[in-house]
Structure 1
Amino acid sequence: MDLELPKHPEFARVAAKIASDRHGQRIQDALHGLFPTLLPSRKSCKKAIERGRIAINGVPSTTARRVQTGDEVVYLPDNAPPRPPGPGAPQHLKWHRPDGADHLFVWKPAGLATSGSGRLNLAAVLAHLAHAGTPDQVAALTAHHPDALRWPQPIHRLDRVTSGWVCVALNLRTASSIGAAFAAQRIRKSYLALVAGDLDGQGECRLPLEGQTAHTSWNAIASGPLPVHGTATLLRVLPTTGRTHQIRRHCALLGHPIVGEDRYPERVDTGEEPLRYKGNGLFLSAVELHIPAGEHGASSRISADAPKKFRRIAWVKNALSQDQATDAS
């Protein structure tokens, strides 16, 4: 992929050559995967073509056009300002941008999707703040080396019900570099999870999900009483792979669903709906994220304390304090 950076980065374009394995395909099919950060799905590819954002050899394309080996496909970003996020969107977000980096770590609150077609998601909030936020917000969300990535782009996802750190790219080079590190399983992620039942020591789950390999390791921090479940265990969870709802599903498959879980609850033989600890959401949070060095720059790491709902449980709060003291020693 070649990037052209004119004097006004908002008009930057992205170009790619058609390889022989895409020869003869309709552009709607050949386009998928050429610009994965900008056009992550077949639906987004079709919309880009219909909106006149795709040209082949300098000529705007239609969805029926077939490509040939060596054709130059160009994507021209939409210059329109982002739409304001939907009602209930946060006006302020907690983030940290490493010195000199074109990525930042953003804390996604529980209840907010990472991205999507709607307006109530983290990507939409960041785009709005980058366009119409305070001067400090705009500066923090502007790339040092801008290109065709018009607005801040989350590189990975967290479930809507999961809080925690999300790595956000500010240009395509960074998105590609860190995205490759995620694909190669070189990113270190650490979660806190409160699960039903009593666990001790450490363990792992390698049960495949949807026919794909999946690997989750865990270390028990402490156990204690909890209404509804009787006993719960605080875990530090380290996923190696990143399958959809991986931690939630692995915990449920092990017989220890996450407290607050409503999608993968504990199985019961009576046929009745299992009891659930309600009112505080899912007790799962991505509290630590480590990005290795690469084309995007130096390595970077971010961590956070457990969310308040964890610390409202007395024995969990004590266990977290002792765990932090151990790590510091």
Structure 2
Amino acid sequence: MQTTETHIVPSLIAPIRLQEYGVGIFNAALTKSALKKALKKKLIMVNDVVATTATYIKGGECISLSISEETISKKKLILQLDVLFEDDYLAVIHKPAGILVSGNSFKTIANALVSNIKKSNRSDTTKPQPVHRLDFETTGILLIGKTSSSIRALNKLFKNKAIKKTYFAITIGEMERRGDITHDIDDKPSQSRYTVCETVTSSRFGTLNLVQLEPQTGRRHQLRKHLSQLGHPILGDKVYGIEPLILNGKGLYLHAYSLRFVHPFTNEELCLKDELPKRFRKIFESIEQL
């Protein structure tokens, strides 16, 4: 048996590709990748014509997605999340370590959002969706879209680099006080800016640094790779760490600390923070002053 979701496109200022406009409008295909898969499987129609990844919409069209009910999960993931900010358009949560943001697994942040985020009162309310990713082991702030229009708007802000992200990490070894790391990642230009906030001596690691990080690009594992390439891997990094200095059992000391951006609907300048975990404060007692 099939279920069909429909969406009427409002008037648009300019034509836009369906695979860009359609992110977030269907509960059965919320993400970019899910939408592309649905298009390739010919599950989406625009005015009763099968849509493709090359389809543009101009406004006023009826878009429908038909999918087998067997593919839609009936189970709900019950996982309590800390909600740091929420309004009718978006939310911000704390992502704990050891859980995927999204993907094929049942236990993901994406699957836990419905039981933690309030349903929007806006007309285009949809299933809440993360609009960016954090690594499995990384903790910290994660931005969620609650309506179709806000998911598209937040994706556009990330694409235009209009959201400033700040991380904190604990790194190993004596470092220059500040600098830019510009090593290519996967043959693509990449840049990370760092500032050493505090340093302590360690009997095992020699020197540990509390480092503020501002990624200027968004490559996969960028901060972890850049710090490792600099010769100062993140404490607890089993993938990019230096073999004799890998800390086991304590997790990765990388935390997404803040997001700064202009709210795409209220025009309010937001600076949202997720305070550093206690395990950071055990090593650096002055963190309370940040």
Q: Same fold (TM over 0.5)?
A: yes
Question: What is aligned with 1:40?
Answer: 32
How does the TM-score come out when normalised to structure 2?
0.81
User: 1:206 offset after TM fit, Å?
Assistant: 1.6
Question: What is aligned with 1:116?
Answer: 103
Q: Name the amino acid aligned to 1:13.
A: H
Q: 2:195 and 2:63 mapped to 1: Cα distance? A: 48
Residues 53 and 240 of structure 1, relative CA distance in 2, 3 Å threshold: same
Q: 2:85 and 2:189 mapped to 1: Cα distance? A: 33
Contact 1:85–1:120 under 8 Å retained in 2: no
Give the number of the structure whose alpha-carbon radius of gyration is greater.
1
Question: What is aligned with 2:75?
Answer: 84
Question: What is aligned with 1:25?
Answer: none
Residues 227 and 79 of structure 1, relative CA distance in 2, 3 Å threshold: farther
Q: 2:263 and 2:51 mapped to 1: Cα distance? A: 40
1:144 equivalent among 121, 125, 133: 121
Q: 1:67 and 1:221 mapped to 2: Cα distance? A: 49
User: 1:73 offset after TM fit, Å?
Assistant: 7.0
Contact 2:6–2:64 under 8 Å retained in 1: no
Please give the residue correspondences for 1:31-110 in structure 2 after superposition, counting only pairs within 5 Å. Answer: 32-33=19-20, 35-37=22-24, 38-41=30-33, 44-47=35-38, 50=41, 53-58=43-48, 61=50, 74-76=63-65, 83-84=74-75, 91-98=79-86, 100-110=87-97
Q: Name the amino acid aligned to 1:94.
A: D
User: 1:45 offset after TM fit, Å?
Assistant: 3.2
Residues 154 and 263 of structure 1, relative CA distance in 2, 3 Å threshold: same
1:320 equivalent among 280, 287, 290: 287
Contact 1:197–1:233 under 8 Å retained in 2: yes
Please give the residue correspondences for 1:181-192 in structure 2 after superposition, counting only pairs within 5 Å. Answer: 181-192=157-168
Q: 2:55 and 2:157 mapped to 1: Cα distance? A: 31
Identity of aligned residues (%): 25
Q: Which runs of 5+ in 2 are unaligned?
A: 25-29
User: 1:77 offset after TM fit, Å?
Assistant: 7.7
How does the TM-score come out when normalised to structure 1?
0.72
Q: 2:6 and 2:47 mapped to 1: Cα distance? A: 17
User: 1:69 offset after TM fit, Å?
Assistant: 9.5
Contact 1:16–1:34 under 8 Å retained in 2: no
Contact 1:14–1:76 under 8 Å retained in 2: no
Question: What is aligned with 2:181?
Answer: 205
Question: What is aligned with 2:27?
Answer: none
Q: Is 2:151 the counterpart of 1:178?
A: no
Contact 2:192–2:217 under 8 Å retained in 1: yes
Contact 1:288–1:304 under 8 Å retained in 2: yes
Contact 1:207–1:215 under 8 Å retained in 2: yes
User: 1:286 offset after TM fit, Å?
Assistant: 0.6
2:249 equivalent among 279, 286, 301: 279
Give the count of matched residue pairs.
276
